[in-house]
């Protein structure tokens, strides 16, 4: 046991050594510079190259941005103003075009005296989303969430108040149908009734009922045709609708795809893979050229509605794939526990499976949404006046013929702000949910 030790050097520290500051310049500003920018020759070179790059970019862009005119009424006037102010060789930005066309870039041809309507509509939509997006909002705001889907379109398109009421009544009918049928024939028939009754109502009676009510009690606001929608309002309308509708549809598609029922699964897989396999632009072509062919003769519905349908379909397929990932990540035990407690399929999905699967899928869902919002610019290719489309028609104006960077820059900036804040929000959400249960 003993004698084998070279060191029986037992040692006990009698005095503890306190924290000491590090010896070299590894802290402080200089230390930071050394560690982060000039830690090696390669790094130093990279730093210098980066600095040069940033410098060159700023030198090229900054004077142009700053040497600008906000007041001119045409491109030539603007150029003159800039030459007058900053010298004959200078070129600068004509932000004046943004000032002059600001309201058009935002609202398109929406009648200017009722700009409050789209503003109120998007306010309502945000209000409706708030209780879903942020946990701190009181539960009562959920009423707004329920009302928003009817309120927002009505505010945007105007017309009789009875139409949204009639549409909303369809949901009441559906619920009633379920309550009447379900106890007697069971959940599945109940669900079918809940689906069928409102569809019949909407297709056959809702329009007439709304018309009739309008006769009796004319209540309404000035209707605005969707041809007048344009600018960011159009992007947001399409984006927001597609985003909100694609979530439930995507969930259904994802559930269908996970289903053990072969035919249901095949149909869902087919739809998802088809939609994901083709570019959005071809789907927009369908909306624009073919959707009217698919409808009974002489139905001619709004191009914006058609576009919204296709963009929603597109978003749904992508959301479905994201949610499928979330569903797959859920342990089997959760399903079994729900079964063992006697929850039926839909209740288990709603109470147990979806809340968890959605939580897992949030980053994916949000990036899908960002993608959808960005993709709304494609509608300019089929001639709708979203911001990109609008920039073309502004350029068609003799006064602003030849203006390029200011418009693209402005539009890009706006999109950047929207998309960037969405992605930051998703990070915030992820962080919050990660710590949520701990």
Partner 1 sequence: MSDTAIDRSRLTVSDEVAIQILGMNKWYGAFHVLRDINLTINKGERIVVCGPSGSGKSTLIRCINRLEEHQSGKIVVDGIELTNDLKHIDQVRSEVGMVFQHFNLFPHLTILENCTLAPIWVRKVPKKEAVETAMYYLEKVKIPEQANKYPGQLSGGQQQRVAIARSLCMRPNIMLFDEPTSALDPEMIKEVLDTMIQLAEEGMTMICVTHEMGFARQVANRVIFMDQGQIVEQNEPEAFFNNPRSDRTRLFLSQILGH
Partner 2 sequence: ATLDDVKARGKLNCGTNTGLVGFAAPDANGDWQGFDVAVCRAVAAAVLGDSSAVEFVPTTGKTRFTALASGEIDMLVRNTTWTFSRDVDLKFTFVGVNYYDGQGFMVPKALGVSSAKELDGATVCIQTGTTTELNLADFFRVNNITYEPVPIETNEQAQQQYLAGACDVYTTDASGLAATRATFEDPTAHVVLPEIISKEPLGPLVRHGDDEWADIVRWTLNALIAAEEYGVTSANIDELAAAPTTNPEINRLLGTEGGLGEMLGLPADWAVKAIKAGGNYGELFEKYIGQNTPIGLARGLNAQWTDGGLMYAPPFR
Partner 3 sequence: MTSYPDVSRETFRLRMLIFDTRYRSLTIQVVALIAFMLLVAWIVSNTVQNLADLGKPIDFGFLTGAAQYDINQTLIEYTNRDSHLRAAFVGLLNTLLVAALGCTLATVLGVIIGVLRLSRNWLVARLMTVYVELFRNVPVLLWIVFFMAILIETLPPPNAFRGENATASMLLGDSVALTNRGFYIPEPLFSRSLGDISVFGAFDISLDLIAFLAVLAAGLWASARIRARADRIQNQTGLRPTTWYLRLGVVAVPVLIVLVALGFHLGYPELKGFNFRGGIYMRNSLIALWLALSFYTAAFIAEIVRGGILAISKGQTEAAAALGLRPNRIMSLVILPQALRVIIPPLISQYLNLTKNSSLAIAVGYMDITGTLGGITMGQTGRELECVLLMMAFYLAISLVISTAMNWYDARVRLVER
Q: Which residues bind partner 3 (CB under 8 A)?
A: 35-37, 39, 43, 46-47, 50-51, 53-54, 185-186, 188-189, 192, 260-264, 267, 274, 276-282, 285-286, 289-290, 292-297, 370, 374-375, 377-378, 380-381, 388, 404-405, 408, 411-412, 415-416, 419-420, 423
29 binds partner 1 (CB under 8 A): no
Helices (H), 67-161: 75-86, 96-107, 116-133, 142-157
Q: Which does 30 bind (CB under 5 to 8 A by kind): partner 2, partner 1, partner 3, none?
A: none
Of 11 and 184, CB closest to partner 3:
184
Contact present, 355 and 258 (Cβ < 8 Å): no
Contact present, 379 and 307 (Cβ < 8 Å): yes
278 binds partner 1 (CB under 8 A): no
> HSE (CB half, 13 Å, CA atoms) of 387?
26
80 binds partner 1 (CB under 8 A): no
Instruction: Give the CA distances from residue 275 to residues 160, 285, 412, in Å, rounded to whole numbers and listed in that order.
Output: 35, 13, 27
| Angle subtended at Cα 332 by Cα 327 and Cα 337, rounded to the nearest 5 degrees | 115
Q: Which does 50 bind (CB under 5 to 8 A by kind): partner 3, partner 1, partner 2, none?
A: partner 3
5 binds partner 1 (CB under 8 A): yes
CA distance linking residue 234 with residue 216, whole number of Å: 33
Q: How far is the CB of 117 from partner 1 (least distance, A)?
A: 39
Count of residues binding partner 1 (CB under 8 A)? 43
24 binds partner 1 (CB under 8 A): yes
Return the structure tokens found at 2.
């003993």
Contact present, 68 and 93 (Cβ < 8 Å): yes
CA distance linking residue 404 with residue 413, whole number of Å: 14
Contact present, 164 and 148 (Cβ < 8 Å): no
Q: How far is the CB of 50 from partner 3 (least distance, A)?
A: 5
Q: How far is the CB of 199 from partner 2 (least distance, A)?
A: 25
CA distance linking residue 420 with residue 425, whole number of Å: 8
Burial (Cβ within 10 Å: 0-12, 13-18, ≥19) of residue 70: middle
292 binds partner 2 (CB under 8 A): yes
126 binds partner 2 (CB under 8 A): no
Q: How far is the CB of 11 from partner 1 (least distance, A)?
A: 5
CA distance linking residue 304 with residue 295, whole number of Å: 16
111 binds partner 2 (CB under 8 A): no
Of 11 and 262, CB closest to partner 3:
262
Q: Which does 197 bind (CB under 5 to 8 A by kind): partner 2, partner 1, partner 3, none?
A: none
9 binds partner 2 (CB under 8 A): no
Among 300, 342, 396, 402, binds partner 1 (CB under 8 A): 342
CA distance linking residue 379 with residue 386, whole number of Å: 7
Contact present, 66 and 91 (Cβ < 8 Å): no
Locate the DSSP E strands across 121-273. Answer: 159-160, 220-221
Residues from 155 through 194 that contact partner 1 (CB under 8 A): 186
Burial (Cβ within 10 Å: 0-12, 13-18, ≥19) of residue 286: middle
User: By CB under 8 A, which span of 80-88, 89-97, 209-217, 395-403 interacts with partner 2?
Assistant: 395-403
DSSP designation for 423: H
Of 26 and 103, CB closest to partner 1:
26
Q: How far is the CB of 336 from partner 1 (least distance, A)?
A: 6
Q: How far is the CB of 242 from partner 1 (least distance, A)?
A: 27
Among 37, 176, 343, 414, binds partner 1 (CB under 8 A): 343
> HSE (CB half, 13 Å, CA atoms) of 125?
22
Contact present, 219 and 162 (Cβ < 8 Å): yes
Q: How far is the CB of 396 from partner 2 (least distance, A)?
A: 3
β-pairing, 159-160 vs 220-221, is: antiparallel
Among 20, 41, 223, 294, binds partner 1 (CB under 8 A): 20
Residues that bind partner 1 (CB under 8 A): 1-2, 4-13, 16-17, 19-24, 26-27, 186, 331, 333-334, 336-337, 339-344, 347, 351-352, 355-356, 359, 436-438
Residues that bind partner 2 (CB under 8 A): 76, 104, 109, 225, 227, 288-289, 292-293, 300, 303, 382-383, 392-393, 395-399, 401-402, 404
């Amino acid at each position: 046991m003993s004698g084998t030790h070279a060191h029986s050097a037992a040692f006990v520290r009698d005095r503890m050594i306190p924290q000491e500051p590090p010896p070299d310049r590894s802290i402080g500003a200089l230390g930071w510079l050394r560690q982060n920018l000039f830690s090696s020759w390669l790094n130093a070179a990279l730093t210098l190259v980066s600095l040069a790059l940033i410098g060159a970019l700023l030198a090229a862009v900054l004077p142009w941005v700053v040497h600008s005119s906000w007041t001119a009424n045409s491109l030539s006037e603007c150029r003159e103003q800039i030459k007058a102010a900053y010298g004959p060789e200078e070129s600068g930005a004509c932000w004046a075009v943004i000032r002059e066309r600001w309201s058009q870039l935002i609202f398109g041809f929406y009648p200017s005296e009722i700009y409050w309507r789209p503003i109120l509509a998007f306010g309502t939509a945000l209000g409706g989303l708030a209780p879903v997006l942020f946990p701190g909002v009181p539960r009562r705001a959920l009423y707004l969430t329920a009302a928003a889907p009817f309120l927002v379109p009505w505010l945007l398109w105007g017309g009789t108040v009875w139409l949204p009421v009639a549409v909303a009544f369809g949901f009441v009918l559906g619920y009633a149908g379920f309550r009447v049928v379900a106890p007697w024939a069971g959940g599945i028939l109940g669900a079918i009734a809940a689906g069928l009754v409102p569809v019949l109502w909407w297709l056959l009676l809702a329009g007439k009922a709304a018309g009739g009510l309008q006769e009796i009690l004319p209540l309404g606001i000035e209707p605005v045709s969707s041809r007048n929608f344009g600018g960011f309002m159009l992007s947001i309308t399409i984006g927001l609708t597609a985003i909100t509708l694609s979530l439930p549809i995507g969930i259904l598609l994802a559930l269908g795809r996970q289903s053990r029922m072969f035919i249901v699964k095949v149909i869902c897989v087919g739809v998802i893979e088809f939609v994901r396999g083709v570019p959005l632009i071809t789907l927009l072509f369908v909306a624009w050229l073919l959707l009217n062919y698919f409808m009974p003769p002489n139905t001619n519905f709004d191009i914006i509605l058609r576009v919204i349908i296709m963009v929603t379909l597109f978003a749904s397929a992508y959301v479905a794939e994201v949610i499928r990932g979330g569903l797959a990540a859920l342990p089997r035990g959760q399903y079994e526990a729900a079964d063992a407690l006697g929850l039926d399929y839909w209740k288990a999905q709603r109470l147990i499976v979806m809340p968890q699967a959605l939580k897992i899928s949030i980053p994916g869902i949000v990036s899908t949404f960002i993608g959808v919002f960005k993709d709304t610019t494609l509608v300019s290719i089929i001639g709708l006046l979203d911001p990109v489309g609008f920039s073309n028609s502004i350029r068609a104006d003799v006064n602003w013929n030849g203006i390029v960077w200011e418009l693209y820059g402005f539009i890009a900036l706006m999109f950047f702000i929207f998309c960037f804040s969405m992605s930051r929000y998703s990070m915030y959400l992820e962080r919050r949910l990660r710590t949520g249960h701990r």
